[in-house]
Amino acid sequence: MANYKLQEMPNLNNSGKRIVYPKVETHRTLSTDEVCEKMHAYNPAYSSSLVRTVLDDLSNFLVHMMDMGYNVKLDGLGTFSLSIGFTDNKPNEMQGDDDKMLYRKVAVKDVNYKVDAELLEKLKRKVDLRRIEGEVQKISKTAYSEEERIQRAINIIEKKGFITLADYAYTNGLSRSMASRDLKKICEKEDSPIKSSGNGSHKIWVKS
């Protein structure tokens, strides 16, 4: 059974609307050692040391395969793929038809993970969600105005060439869901200084 609570999203644009959304109440994040022990308890046929070895080998295998240019799909778990980007401070815009964008530094930025449909369906069927008793919880409003949030995002874009949802949420003190709504609202404006690129877990935001 998983517990959840209802939270009221801060009114970032002073619209007067009170938006409420459910949030899972997590106990904590399990460590690798704890996962190995719990896997052994779940199925005693596998020792915790064996589980640890498999996890270590899987991690190294993922690195090896993605280094060779493969995405890796694990049935019942999900698909892993590389996220790359420029690491220099040069502009992303081509400076003309003859600009071949030479001497750019590119590196791995992150790993994209897309949940397997089978795993998602299992969770939908099996997870028993129970609401924690109590009133709707109010979250403190972010310390930054919309103009300040946008500028903080642009500062990161100018350094990295783009900003991710996690980056935007962290730098502005927002939850991921709040950050997603905030970015959507900002990008819907005709004169928005930033715009989205890509879809799903591959979505990033760049300067307009």
Q: Where are the domains of the chain?
A: 2-25+71-207
What percent of the chain has pLDDT above 90?
A: 51
**Among residues 70, 37, 28, 68, which one has the least CA distance to residue 55?**
37
CA 15, 181, 166: angle at the middle one, nearest 5?
A: 140
- Span 143-156, pLDDT tens digits: 788 889 999 999 99
pLDDT averaged over every residue in the chain:
87
pLDDT for 141: 60
Residue type, 152: R
- Span 160-188, pLDDT tens digits: 899 999 999 888 888 888 889 899 999 99
pTM, full prediction:
0.60
Residue 122 CA to residue 120 CA, distance in Å, equals 5
- Span 41-97, pLDDT tens digits: 999 999 999 999 999 999 999 999 999 999 999 999 999 999 988 887 776 676 667
pLDDT for 33: 94
Strand partners, 206: 195
pLDDT bracket for residue 125 (50, 70, 90) = very high
Chain position carrying tokens 């401070």 = 89
User: What CATH number belongs to 2-25+71-207?
Assistant: 1.10.10.10
pLDDT at 126 over 90: yes
Helix or strand run (H / E) with residue 74: strand 72-74
What percent of the chain has pLDDT above 70?
A: 88
Contact 69, 108 (CB under 8 A): no
